[in-house]
Amino acid sequence: MSNIEKIDVFGSNLMNSVRDRSIKRVDDILLGDVKAKSLIELHQSLKSFDSHQIDSIRTVIIETIDNVIFNTLSMLEENRNNLKLQILDQGIDTNLVDISDGLPGELFSDDGWIARFSKYK
């Protein structure tokens, strides 16, 4: 597997397992498609908001999710000597921080992870 493929394997998993699941959870709460009592109550408390307000809330939450992912990737880069983000390919460990031009930058742009791998563009 090439270095680009290794980075993309991680990026695809991060978008699907973290970003998309988190956004789906937000959408489920906003739509009332939840079973937990606390989430039902949260949904009920949002019923007084109009569609523009709900859209704004959703946008703020998605921006926050993206910021958490960005900050996590930045933290991994800033602590590259103490923390490793490794991918195993054919018995060889590769630290993704070392082979990326900048992990946080992989998120954004027309060909970034969000654009290529997320259900929520």
The Cα 45–Cα 75 span in angstroms is 35
pLDDT in tens, 30-40: 999 999 999 99
- pLDDT of 20 reads 98
pLDDT in tens, 87-108: 999 999 999 999 999 999 999 9
Express as a percent the part of the chain with pLDDT over 70.
100
- pLDDT of 11 reads 98
The Cα 119–Cα 21 span in angstroms is 10
Q: Which residues contact 104 (CB under 8 A, 6 or more apart)?
A: 70, 73, 74, 77
pLDDT confidence bin for 51, thresholds 50/70/90: very high
What's the whole-number average pLDDT of the chain?
A: 96
- pLDDT of 37 reads 98
